[in-house]
Copies of this chain bind each other. A is one copy, B any other.
């Protein structure tokens, strides 16, 4: 069987179209308030600068105003706090690393949930892990923001029909075993939780151990559970229907011979974690990178936060009138 290779640009296209149309309507309905994303660049990392430039281009393509602010790392917290309360700013993102230490996680929590397009503040992380989908129960008008890269991978999996629409919402990955080679707090662990919340059995592979995330037997559990396993990384790869990799090293390559025939292979690392020629002989579908889908999700999150902020503005006006 031939492997189908899917590029991020193709998957992202429909989301970009949706965002473009969303921006057009937003500007029209607000009488000209252009959705505005502020990106903070507080390092001298060329990769971050490239990503920032790329965000800017992608925003220009869909009509979002992107304002890149280069600041000193020692000034970043003050700048974030100013942007948090500036009504002309609808979304905020930070190009990491800033300090390259756990101080960066402190900075994630300085961004207001009202403007956190990356979904990395504790409120969104907590809600995601606990499968809390709305910020304002019981009204449920404001959906929680989901971190961009994990969300992009969910959208890729939907595009590939790994999510089965015949199954009930919240259980559409039931029956699937998905290995994720990465357990970072920014992508690997939230992704494991999201996929487990949607019914998958997730094998989370990190240096040293494999954890299993699942919903328990059946679909009755409200949120995922995590358990220790004695599996090796190789055993996890052997069992997986879908393998998702995010190892930020050019030296790491998945051993293709371990994979099931007909596996689905997705890489979100900037390094290529699969040997393309090899994996195409084994996989049913292969997605070598997802960056453009991630940026589309960033924009989607921005539009959502913009809508909530506009609703608050209009609500306040209506109250006054």
- Using CB atoms and an 8 Å cutoff, list the residues of chain A in contact with chain B: 72, 74, 77, 101-103, 105-106, 109-110, 122, 125-126, 129, 183-185, 189, 206, 211, 225-228
In the A-B complex, the 5 residue pairs with the smallest Cβ-Cβ separation, listed nearest first, are A74-B226, A102-B185, A109-B122, A105-B105, A74-B227
**Nearest CB on B from A247, distance (A):** 15
A103 and B72 contacting across the interface, CB-CB below 8 Å: no
A185 and B101 contacting across the interface, CB-CB below 8 Å: yes
A102 and B102 contacting across the interface, CB-CB below 8 Å: yes
B106 and A122 contacting across the interface, CB-CB below 8 Å: yes
Interface of A is mostly: mixed
Asked whether A184 and B102 contact (CB < 8 A) given A109-B122, A122-B109, A126-B109, the answer is: yes
Partner of A228, one of B74, B106, B189, B226: B74
Partner of A103, one of B109, B185, B227, B228: B185
Partner of A102, one of B105, B109, B226: B105
Residue of B nearest to A228 (CB): B74
**28 A-B interface contacts by CB (under 8 A):** A72-B228, A74-B211, A74-B225, A74-B226, A74-B227, A74-B228, A77-B129, A101-B183, A101-B184, A101-B185, A101-B206, A102-B102, A102-B105, A102-B184, A102-B185, A103-B183, A103-B185, A103-B189, A105-B105, A105-B185, A106-B122, A106-B125, A106-B185, A109-B109, A109-B122, A109-B126, A110-B126, A122-B122
For A125, the chain B residues whose CB sits under 8 A away are 106
For A74, the chain B residues whose CB sits under 8 A away are 211, 225-228
